[in-house]
Amino acid sequence: MKFTISFLIWLLLYLPVVLVSIIVVPLMLKLGWEGFNTIFGNATYGRNGNSHLKPPVTLWKSYVFLVFRNPVSNWGKHYLSVSNDSTWAWLKVKEWWHFGIKYGWGLRRPIPSNDSGNPAKFLFRIYWK
């Protein structure tokens, strides 16, 4: 049941925003957007990406990072997030052969006493081992 709920959240809420970002992000980047704000951005790395984005950072590399490598990061971190002290949220990992899936909310346990501003973000991630 938790997988079904997580899949529906991903399908009905997350995926449509990712699809919209395919069109919106390049327009915003062309207009000089730094990539930190809005639901399409990444509050931590912005348009310059993380260590996976090798210099020089071009418009294309920023687009790939924000739309495909780390899509709508702020959407999952802020708008679909739950409080770290949530008792109902789940994070599950299922693995088969060479791949796995992580779904639910990335709760950070134990929670530092001064960390009330870092919510548990929504995840629905398929990965290769």
pLDDT in tens, 92-105: 999 999 999 999 99
- For residue 92, what pLDDT is reported? 92
Quick one: 19 and 65 in the same domain? Answer: yes
Residue span of the structural domain in which 99 resides: 85-128
- For residue 28, what pLDDT is reported? 97
Our measurement of the distance from residue 98's CA atom to the centroid of its chain's CA atoms, rounded to an integer in Å, reads 23
For residue 44, the tally of other CB atoms under 10 A from its CB is: 11
Quick one: 73 and 40 in the same domain? Answer: yes
Quick one: 65 and 9 in the same domain? Answer: yes
pTM over the 0.85 mark = no
Quick one: 73 and 90 in the same domain? Answer: no
Once rounded to an integer, what is the mean pLDDT over residues 18-31?
A: 97
- For residue 117, what pLDDT is reported? 60
pLDDT tier for residue 109 given thresholds of 50, 70 and 90: low
Quick one: 31 and 68 in the same domain? Answer: yes
The pLDDT of residue 114 is above 60: no
Quick one: 45 and 92 in the same domain? Answer: no
Joined together, the tokens standing for residue 51 give 């260590």
The pLDDT of residue 82 is above 90: no
- Using CB atoms within 10 Å of the CB of residue 69, give its burial: 0 to 12 exposed, 13 to 18 middle, 19+ buried: middle
Helices (H), 10-101: 15-30, 59-64, 73-74
